[in-house]
Chains A and B, each alone.
Chain A
Amino acid sequence: MEVRGLTKTFGSVTAVDSLSFTVEPGQVTGFLGPNGAGKTTTLRMALGLITPDRGTTTIGGTPYAALRQPARHVGAVLETAFHPGRSGRDHLRVYCRAAGLPASRADEVLARVGLTPAARRKAGNYSLGMRQRLGLATALLGDPRVLVLDEPANGLDPEGIQWLRGFLRHLAHDEGRTVLISSHLLSEVEQTADRVVIVGAGKLVREGSLDELRRESAGTVTVRTPQADALAAAVAGPGVAVTTAGPGALQVSGLTTDEIGHRAFVAGVELHELSARTSGLEEVYFRLTAGAEQYAATSGSAS
């Protein structure tokens, strides 16, 4: 899936601004950004529901709307949309018919998401978790290779989130499907995603593997030593940055505490402190999207 230069303006708000990124096949891509970053708008444009002002999205080289049988290629959960008076099973049968699939698919996907016992109940009486499952079941009807999910964990309890993570991991890693999953929390996709695409205020902030991001989050190590110059020389090397942080104190990045301790020992440098300050993935994500929130709460109080 290729997104090229997507742009969409609603009145005075530029929801998505010249956004380009690639979703690699067979991987789980986390589509991250704070509230109002333009994730939903981007996904809806990619699926032909919103007409972009500029830009294109292709799936396997073809725009979604030009796919011959889109449900067999791409499954999407954008919101939990169904007629409240229709049973979950009938809801699925409607889209089986429309997509030219056998009606038996409805029962198969119901079983896959564990909704069989509630199949004949009105969808309007479903709990939030059941609605999410029904949405997922709808997306799976055509047994698509590509799944697009917009905040699928919204409103799920911890148990539901656990189930969803396992299910998505299975769909992606065991069945080899391509999954694009949006979230405003990195932690939500941390355990499932291989790659991340991070957006802020409609623009691309970062695109890359989660491992790259993890390396970035390794953070810095604070070292106190009476022999600052000797230590700086001992740890110097490619990919290592050393800065002075006051008299007898250094900040080292690019090495772990173990590595620094070892080099100091070999060089015979005396250490008074060796402490790691890891920023963590969440913090890297926070730093990347800082200032990009559309509706950030003002901090402090007026009292």
Chain B
Amino acid sequence: MNAAVDLVRAEWTKLLSTKVFFWLLLVAALMGGGFTALFTALAGAQNGLPPVGSPEFTEVVAGVPAQVAVIPLVLGIIGMTQEYRHRTATPTFLVTPRRGRVVVAKLLAYAVAGVAVAAVVVAVTVAVASGYGSARGAAPDWTADTLGTLGRSGLALVVFAVIGVGVGALVRNQVGAVVGSLVYLFVVESIIASIPATADAYRFLPGGALAAMTGTGGGGGIDLLTAWQGGLLLLGYGLVAAVLGTVLAVRRDVV
């Protein structure tokens, strides 16, 4: 038990002793704040958005944190693949020869790092929506429903950090893993969603599951899973990638 805690703390020491985490946190905060400001600026029927102060607009704001999911995803990928990129896999696996333990420690450590990202992004989103919203007429009026969406939106960031570690374990090449997953999320999935014959499968894919978590972005008549199904499915993707990665890639020779 103690050894497990030590390993998770070692991962945090790694995370906090380079600048990657701070930069990604900054980018996530800027993206969250920027999207919120953009939505607030454009709120109103003439732009196809609900007016500020309406429950519908609050729902839109609550979905903003989930839009920066790529940031914790990239954070998790870098967290795992840096071991190979900078060849620190050698000292890491010398200290912990049972490599599965390293992967588990990273999953836990990056889930917590994902909580930190989520907290910052949610805080910035709410702050911008309140400040700028008031200036434009009304601050969001948070209800149990919209707070629930906001919470799941933040939770999506935690799950994507876990997915990042899993993807990184499977694809040891850092550039390959980052580019591959971005291309997948932004190109492959939107194509799948746009073809009627395959659109039905979209809800079971990571993008569809993410949309289900916040109840947004489904549009186009695609049935999404429920929020909790979507969240569990996403977590499942992350864990399956981590298990496959541990068995197929992480155990391979470190030369």
Contact A81 B88 (CB under 8 A): yes
Do B10 and A50 touch across chains, with their CB atoms under 8 A apart? Answer: no
Q: Separation in Å of the A252 CB from the closest CB of chain B?
A: 49
Task: Tell whether, in the assembled complex, residue B17 and residue A86 are in contact, meaning their CB atoms are under 8 Å apart.
Answer: yes
Q: Is the CB of A94 within 8 A of B90?
A: no
Query: Given A82-B88, A85-B18, A100-B6, is A71 in contact with B13 using a C-beta cutoff of 8 Å?
Result: no
Binary CB contact string for chain B from 71 to 94 against chain A (1 if under 8 A, 0 otherwise): 000000000001000111111111
CB pair B94–A76 under 8 Å, yes or no, is yes
* CB-CB contacts below 8 Å: A75-99 with B: 76, 78-79, 81-87, 90-91, 93-95, 97-99
Q: Does A118 contact B (CB under 8 A)?
A: no
Q: Is the CB of A84 within 8 A of B17?
A: no
Q: How far is the CA of A100 from the CA of B7 in the complex (A)?
A: 8
Which of A41, A47, A93 sits near B94, CB closer than 8 Å? A47
B177 to chain A, nearest CB (A): 17
CB pair B13–A70 under 8 Å, yes or no, is: no
- CB-contact partner of A94 in B17, B97, B98, under 8 A: B17
Q: Which residue of B lies closest to A103 (CB)?
A: B13
Residues A98 and B6 in contact, CB atoms below 8 Å apart: yes
Q: Contact: A99 with B95, CB < 8 Å?
A: yes
Most A CB within 10 A of own CB, among B13, B89, B254? B13
How many B residues face the partner with a CB closer than 8 A? 30
**A67 near B: Cβ within 8 Å?**
yes
A138 within 8 A of B: yes
Alpha-carbon separation in the docked complex, A94 to B91 (Å): 10
* A138 cross-chain contacts in B, Cβ below 8 A: 91
- Check B255 for interface membership: any CB of A closer than 8 A: yes
Q: Evaluate contact between B253 and A87: CB separation under 8 angstroms.
A: no
User: Which residue of B has the minimal Cβ distance to A75?
Assistant: B94
Among B3, B13, B20, the residue within 8 A (CB) of A93 is B13
Shortest A102–chain B CB gap in Å is 11
Q: Does B9 contact A (CB under 8 A)?
A: yes
Measured in the bound complex, the distance between the Cα atoms of B89 and A156 in whole Å is 24
A44 part of interface (Cβ distance < 8 Å): yes
From B89, B95, B98, give the contact of A95 (CB < 8 A). Answer: B95
A98 touches B95 (CB 8 A): yes
Which residue among B10, B13, B91, B97 has the maximum number of chain A CB atoms within 10 Å of its CB?
B91
> Which residues between 1 and 26 of chain B lie within 8 Å of chain A, taking CB atoms?
2-3, 6-7, 9-10, 13-14, 17-20
Chain A neighbourhood of B90, CB < 8 A: 49, 78-79, 81
Whether a CB of chain A sits under 8 angstroms from the CB of B143 is no
Q: Could you say which of A66, A71, A90, A99 contacts B17, with CB atoms under 8 Å apart? A: A90
Which residues of the other chain, B, contact A222 by a CB distance below 8 angstroms? Answer: none
A86 touches B254 (CB 8 A): no
Query: Which residue from A48, A83, A100 sits with its C-beta under 8 Å from B3?
Result: A100
**Docked pose: A76 CA to B7 CA in angstroms:** 19
A51 within 8 A of B: yes
A64 touches B97 (CB 8 A): yes
20 contacts between A and B (CB under 8 A): A44-B254, A49-B93, A51-B251, A66-B97, A67-B97, A70-B94, A71-B95, A76-B94, A79-B87, A81-B87, A81-B91, A83-B86, A90-B13, A94-B13, A94-B17, A95-B91, A98-B10, A98-B96, A100-B2, A100-B6
Known contacts A48-B97, A50-B254; can you find 7 more A-B pairs with CB under 8 A?
A: A49-B94, A65-B97, A71-B94, A81-B87, A83-B82, A97-B10, A100-B6
Q: Which residues of A contact B (CB under 8 A)?
A: 41, 44, 47-51, 64-67, 70-71, 76, 78-79, 81-87, 90-91, 93-95, 97-100, 138
Q: 8 closest Cβ contacts across the A-B interface?
A: A90-B17, A98-B10, A65-B97, A97-B10, A81-B87, A50-B253, A85-B18, A49-B254
